[in-house]
Amino acid sequence: MLRLLQLVRSCWMVAAAPATPRERVSLNAGWRFSRFTSNPDSLSYDKLKQWVLPSANDFISGTKRQPPSGTPPGTDVSYVKDSFDDSAWEQVNLPHDWAVKGPFNAPGIGGGMGRLPSNGVGWYRRKVTVASSDIEAGKSIFLDIDGAMSYAAVWLNGNLVGGWPYGYNSFRLDLTQYAKSGDNTLAIRVDNALDSSRWYPGAGLYRNIWLVKVDPTHVGQYGTYITTPSVSAQSATVDLVVEVENKRNGSRKVDVVTEIFAYDPASGKATGNVVATFPKSTITVAAGTKLSVNSSTTVLNPQLWGPAPSQKPNLYIAVTTLSSDGASAAIDVYETRFGIRTVVYDATKGVLVNGQRSYIQGTCNHHDLGSLGAAFNVRAAERQLQMLQEMGSNAIRTSHNPPAPEILDIADHLGMLVLDEIFDCWNTQKTKNDYHLIFPDWHEPDLRSFIRRDRNHPSVIAWSVGNEIGEQSSAAGGATTKELRDIARSEDPTRGVTVAMNSAGPNTQMASVVDIIGLNYQGEGLGTSTSGSFSSFRSKFPNKMIWSSESSSVLSTRGTYIFPVTSGNSATVGGASAGGNNSALQVSSYELYAPSWGSSPDKVFTAQDKNSYVAGEYVWTGWDYIGEPTPYDSARSSYFGIIDMAGFKKDRFYLYQSRWRPDLPSAHILPHWTWPDRVGQVTPVHVFSSASEAELFVNDKSQGRLKRGQYEYRFRWDNVTYQPGDLKVVTYKNGVEWATSTTRTVGDATKLNITSDTTIISGDTLAFVSVAVVDKNGDIVPRASNSVTFKIDGPGTIVSTDNGNPADMTAFPSTTRKVFSGLVLAIVRANAGASGEITVSASADGLTGAQVMLQTS
Ligand code: GAL
């Protein structure tokens, strides 16, 4: 696992050879930060806009935007100046999300945005040292920001350099003209409005930031584009575009050579001999311009990239070397990791990768990483995807915004398909201050830069240009769909464009314009309705592939069971008789209760199976996320996740696993079997299993053997009378015993059990330390809610804690937290530069404590 992290980190770096003429260094350390809840500087996007718009010039097809003449706004603001004393400001390292530490119930922020203080103006400052040799060599110096929430504006040494308003997009600013040898003062302002989002946006410099130093004649930003137009087992054609940017005052003749190597997952580097070489091109790039060269080569016996586990995610690296004027040393070396694969959208068979059907077993996910908030961390993101893969998921949808770039690296490595999505709204607002305010000025550069950034990732199989767009059924919406589709096609003609449509019907212009029909909920039918729209889209567009871009939205809280249980296979959540507990703010985990538009997984599976041409689904959501706590707005986080926010699996995990990994013997029983208050009462038992038959026993007494019928996805015994003891299920497939499972009534809590997902941490890696309250036999006490305190000895820090309870308002950094349904999590980081042993201890009143040892180096 650590190895994968190292690979992911190295994959954006150029070759490690010391002579590399390109440097890309992290600017994450050593910032000073201050947040202001009222405007401290009288700046605003409106005032900055004319100076910020030109930052997008590389991504607009029309007339370039020019900054106005005169002094730019902010020049007189003290925070941009070298002379400003920021020593009283907070010291922070990036990625930094100022809101995640809380407290909850921040003024003006409702449940939708997660009740955390994300609003306000944030200023970040740090020194950036530039070597005199770089200045003397006339190097180009760029600032690459993977994402800043939001309306970022950047000053270097008091000069306004530019900015980028969309908080989820990555952007580059050219610092060269303002950089000097020695210390430079970099100041960044971000500005977050109230009512800017339907979910938790995070706040501040929440992703990685880089300084790139390169010869003024270099491969441009996102300057390579690799496609594989024809692929067979024997050979693959690989097409390459290299864009060379020349920032010198004079023109320059440049040789462009690109060689392909196999990618070695063990080292994260190119390995072995050259696999193929593109013909050398020699071009003359005029001063201050860019020029692209196209070339093509053949890779024999290609090792294809494909989704796991049925295929392998093999990767290659193309190493592009620029040299000039016969000089022996390269002036730039640029690496592009890519995969060789084909993707076909077949209207009947679904997604074909390398000719093999990949039924989409996907989930939608928001960008936050639970109690870490929006602050990006590779290991936390990797953990999310690995757990989804363990469930049998092969795809993610980056709902509803550009992800951190590393997410796509991880997906490439793990072999997961990605529906890469950019917008949640266009011109029509969903919340007062959302993206609609800047859509007219920014949709083109945002879309172009997003696609250029992501288009070399083999994991990305389609672009989604919108989710549940307000104007989806109107002519105006149709026209915008066409505009966005055409932009996407002009940047990447190899992938289809889709929009996630929840109400647009088959006769809308939007539906006719998109390449892939993406249906949110309407395919299977909203709520408990079973008359969905799959067949009407199918008859209108027999040649277009249809998938459920968003499905289910079933709700549950891990370990919570509410009685009675509906006899239907999908129900709308309500009070106690409809799966809800309105005072505890919890939803029953029988995995049957959804909001009015949603459905149980079982109902969705039925609709998918009855319409076998549907290419699969992206379930809302894989992981719980901060904000949108439907149906209980006063809570802090969602109930939609298959996995809770701490990373503990809900029962639903096993329902999806039983469908998506049919060959894995599985039998998961719910509910737990410790109900002193229910002796003699009807307590339905459901089992999620990949088997075809199952028999349930209560204290060895059979409750009946069930055969799974067509369109049935769970075994259910709805009339079981609760008696303490053993609940056992024995399952069968093809008449042969398949998997068994037993749940027993547990005794009083006696001690804590502690486990960590790793025993070694360093750098940015994290340990996810779980604690369970158990009885004397070591069984988890299912309704335990003891307060647990975590403590660290040694060079580590507890970053945050969580228990997956959407209604827990204890601030995330708290080292004391109640367990929820028996479990609680602490996230531990090693202190920078430290080495040695870290002991993480957990204690709770009246229980035997526990500790786990971690190593850091
Ligand atoms: C969808 C929407 C998602 C989320 C979900 C909750 O309509 O696209 O962003 O809000 O509902 O069920």
Atom of ligand 1 nearest to the CA of 595: 12
Which pLDDT belongs to residue 266? 87
Which pLDDT belongs to residue 819? 98
Nearest-10 crossing angle of helices 2-10, 378-390 = 120
Tell me how far apart the alpha carbons of residues 520 and 104 are, in angstroms, rounded to a whole number.
31
Nearest-10 crossing angle of helices 405-414, 378-390 = 40
Q: Which residue out of 335, 421, 444, 550 is catalytically annotated?
A: 550
Tell me how far apart the alpha carbons of residues 193 and 183 are, in angstroms, rounded to a whole number.
33
Per the annotation, the verdict on 550 as an active-site residue is yes
Task: Provide the CATH topology of domain 347-554+596-626.
Answer: TIM Barrel (3.20.20)
Taken as a whole, the chain contains a residue count of 857
Residues 6 or more apart in contact with residue 453 via CB below 8 angstroms: 170, 222, 402, 405
Which residue minimizes the CA distance to atom 3 of ligand 1? 620
Which residue minimizes the CA distance to atom 6 of ligand 1? 553
Which pLDDT belongs to residue 326? 64
Pick the CATH number of 751-856 from 3.40.640.10, 2.40.160.40, 2.60.40.10, 3.40.50.800: 2.60.40.10
Which pLDDT belongs to residue 685? 98
Per the annotation, the verdict on 628 as an active-site residue is no
CA dihedral 94, 454, 310, 381 (to 10 degrees): 10
Atom of ligand 1 nearest to the CA of 597: 12
Q: What secondary structure, in 3-state letters, does 63-106 show?
A: CCCCCCCCCCCCCCCHHHCCCCCCCCCEEECCCCCCCCCCCCCC
CB 332 within 8 A of CB 215: yes
User: Per-block average pLDDT, block size 10, for the chain (857 residues)?
Assistant: 38 38 96 98 98 98 95 97 98 98 98 98 98 96 98 98 98 98 98 98 98 97 98 97 97 97 92 97 97 98 98 98 84 97 98 98 98 98 98 98 98 98 98 98 98 98 98 98 98 98 98 98 95 97 98 98 97 95 98 98 98 98 98 98 98 98 98 98 98 98 98 98 98 97 98 98 94 98 98 98 98 98 98 94 98 96
**Closest by Cα among 165, 222, 148 to 376:** 148
Token output for 792: 């660290």
Q: How far is the CA of 618 from the centre of ligand 1 (A)?
A: 12
Tell me how far apart the alpha carbons of residues 581 and 594 are, in angstroms, rounded to a whole number.
14
Tell me how far apart the alpha carbons of residues 306 and 414 are, in angstroms, rounded to a whole number.
10
What 3-state class would DSSP assign to 480? helix
**Closest by Cα among 397, 359, 307 to 614:** 359
Nearest-10 crossing angle of helices 475-491, 439-454 = 30
Which pLDDT belongs to residue 646? 98
Q: How far is the CA of 621 from the centre of ligand 1 (A)?
A: 9
CB 722 within 8 A of CB 564: no
Atom of ligand 1 nearest to the CA of 598: 12
User: CB within 6 Å of ligand 1 — which residues?
Assistant: 399, 467-468, 502, 520, 550, 553, 595, 598, 620, 628, 640
**Closest by Cα among 708, 790, 796 to 760:** 796
Which residue minimizes the CA distance to atom 4 of ligand 1? 620
Which residue minimizes the CA distance to atom 12 of ligand 1? 553
CB 756 within 8 A of CB 769: yes
Atom of ligand 1 nearest to the CA of 521: 7
Token output for 597: 């538009």
Maximum pairwise Cα distance, the chain: 89
Domains 217-341 and 751-856 share a fold: yes
Q: Identify the CATH class of 22-214.
A: mainly beta
CB 412 within 8 A of CB 315: yes
pTM greater than the 0.95 cutoff: yes
Tell me how far apart the alpha carbons of residues 445 and 453 are, in angstroms, rounded to a whole number.
12
Q: How far is the CA of 692 from the centre of ligand 1 (A)?
A: 33
CB 170 within 8 A of CB 147: yes
Task: Provide the CATH topology of domain 217-341.
Answer: Immunoglobulin-like (2.60.40)
Please name the helix (run of DSSP H) or strand (run of DSSP E) that holds residue 52, with its range, or none.
helix 45-52
631 prior amide bond cis, ω within 30: yes
Token output for 743: 């749940």
Tell me how far apart the alpha carbons of residues 205 and 219 are, in angstroms, rounded to a whole number.
26
Q: Where are the domains of the chain?
A: 22-214, 217-341, 347-554+596-626, 751-856
Q: How far is the CA of 198 from the centre of ligand 1 (A)?
A: 9
Which residue among 553, 618, 642 is best mutated to probe the pocket of ligand 1, counting the most ligand atoms within 8 A of its Cβ? 553
Which pLDDT belongs to residue 1? 38
Q: How far is the CA of 307 from the centre of ligand 1 (A)?
A: 26
Q: Which residue out of 243, 382, 468, 471 is catalytically annotated?
A: 468
Q: How far is the CA of 551 from the centre of ligand 1 (A)?
A: 9
Q: How far is the CA of 590 from the centre of ligand 1 (A)?
A: 21
Atom of ligand 1 nearest to the CA of 553: 12
Tell me how far apart the alpha carbons of residues 370 and 384 are, in angstroms, rounded to a whole number.
10
Q: Residues 381-394, buried b or exposed e (16+ Cβ, 10 A)? A: bbbbbbbbbebbbb
Which residue among 468, 469, 549, 621 is best mutated to probe the pocket of ligand 1, counting the most ligand atoms within 8 A of its Cβ? 468
